[in-house]
Amino acid sequence: MDGLFSLQGKVVLVTGASSGLGAHFAQVVGMAGARVVVAARRVERLQALAEQLRGQGVEVLAVAMDVTCRESVEAALDAVEQGFGTVEVVINNAGIGGAARALEVSEDDWRAMLSTNLDGVWRVAQAAGQRLVKAGQGGSIINIASILGERVGNGLSHYCAAKAGVIQLTKALALEWARHDIRVNAIAPGYFQTEMNDAYFESVKGQAYIKAAVPMGKLGQLPQLDGPLLLLASAAGSFMTGAVLAVDGGHLVSSL
Residues that bind ligand NDP (CB under 6 A): 15-22, 40-42, 65-68, 93-96, 116, 120, 144, 146, 189, 191-192, 194-197
Per annotation, catalytic residue among 159, 191, 200, 209: 159
- What is the Cα–Cα distance from 84 to 90, expressed in whole angstroms? 14
Please identify, using beta-carbon distances, which residue of 16 and 139 lies nearer to ligand NDP: 16
Q: Which is nearer to ligand NDP, 121 or 132 (CB)?
A: 121
Distance in Å, CB of 3 to ligand NDP, minimum: 28
Q: In terms of Cα–Cα distance, which of 167, 190, 227, 235 is closest to 25?
A: 227
Q: Based on CB atoms, which residue is closest to ligand NDP, 33 or 145?
A: 145
Write down the least CB distance from residue 221 to ligand NDP, Å: 11
Q: Find the shortest distance in angstroms from Cβ 9 to ligand NDP.
A: 25
Packing angle of the helix pair 20-31, 43-55 (nearest 10 deg): 30
Nearer to ligand NDP, 120 or 237 (CB): 120
200 is catalytic: no
Contacts of 209 (CB under 8 A, 6+ apart): none
Using CA atoms, how far apart are residues 183 and 194, in angstroms rounded to an integer?
28
CA-CA distance, 87 to 55, in Å (whole number)? 23
Nearest of 203, 183, 185 to residue 193 by alpha carbon: 203
* Largest Cα span, the chain: 53
CB of 104 to ligand NDP, least distance (A): 21
Catalytic positions are: 159
